[in-house]
Chains A and B, each alone.
Chain A
Amino acid sequence: MRSGPQAADGEIVRAVLAGDRESYARLVERYRDRYARYAARMLGSADAAEDALQDAFVRAYDQLAQCKDPDNFIGWFFLILRNRCFAERRRNRTSASLEAANDVAADDRTDGGAESAERRRALQVALMELTPDQREVFVLKHVEGLSYTEIAERLSTSVPSLKMRMHRAYDTLRELLRDHT
């Protein structure tokens, strides 16, 4: 957590519920980037992620009175965002994969050149072929860097069941990427 004389989440939540709508912008500003990467990797495109984040913040505002622990706004918000990401399943899989490929391809050229860009792109496309649950555990562990225990806590599930999902994901990825060595 960053230090500094900023209002705690709970304070801002209470202010918004008391009628200070504009203060909600401070919460959005504070957390808009926290799960942007998660949303982008889950949905396969930054544009879709931006839409999902926007929708999730609006929904969180609507349901703000139901936030049981205002000082942990972010944990509650994550679940709303997560729901929104899983609801995106209606997207055509082909177009999502293409967008993912384009996003990663138009990428930074400072580490490794064309070959690693191609690998990144291939992996992101392959990720979109996993089930959302498998993709999520992969993203939370290998992109966001959480431990199995932390993930289990957040998703209210068990470590063994997460590992089972993950190991299936590894096998699918291996199959899909076997031509990329």
Chain B
Amino acid sequence: MKEKSGTTSGFRKFLYNDNTVGYVFAAPFIIGFICFSLIPILTSFYYAFTDYSLGTKTAEFVGLKNFLKLFQDEVFHKSLWITLKYVFLSVPLKLIFALLVAFLLTRKSKMVTLYRSLYYVPSLVGGSVAVALVWKQLFARKGLFNTVLDGLGLNGINWFGDQGLALIPLILMSVWQFGSSMIIFAAGLKEIPGTYYEAARIDGANGFQMFRKITLPCLSPIILYNLVMQTISAFMAFTQASIITQGGPNNSTMLYALYVYNQAFKYNDMGYASAMSWFMLVVMCGITAIIFKTSKLWVFSESGD
């Protein structure tokens, strides 16, 4: 009897503990993270050293064979190169565009909120299959863009048939989804004290000078954040390539994530795909580290440490 009341009170104590509420509310995330992120991440690390295939379901340890295979795989080299090209072109373009629009939308006008929402919409539907299909139609041989070009008396462009051009629509699609970066920039722009601009104006600075000497430095921490986030997500781009071009022509749009997917689910080489994923993790870590290292040179911190 005594014991029982002891455990119930212990349970009550636990139930009414301040931290408990926090844990319970966080539990869905924690459980989700462990089940759907942490465990798969750890198993994929193990699979990277095996010949695991979804079909046969046997995983034999093969040591570094998967990683050595990376060096001989022509398609892998090409997809790595294409992905770097995609990242280095799409991320700066997207950020410049987002900053430009955010800057335009700092004016005090009633329509600003509406425009901001409108420009944010593409980001909401960003990774979706539907948008990729629309994009495929727009750039198709007889799609909207070529119809317009025809109307202007120009020759239509064979976007997805030319290996030099096929990546461009995919980059444009990513640039078009500039909304989330734009919102963050807009918030950052609001934080810059108006007094700086006033002072500069009194000193006779023009708009461009103010942008260069005040806006950019004050915004640089935000630019760093956006740069890192967008770089990481650009490395993982998958939907466009999978839906629109399936990697063609001549693998010129074989983005890394698509090739990993093909190896894992189409060619049944989950072990090799896992090895590729871990290789990409290293590459992404490297590039992010470089961004952080160089950020000391261009990120302006007001606390001035």
Instruction: Report whether chain A binds chain B.
Output: no
Residue numbers of A with Cβ under 8 A of B are none
Residue numbers of B with Cβ under 8 A of A are none
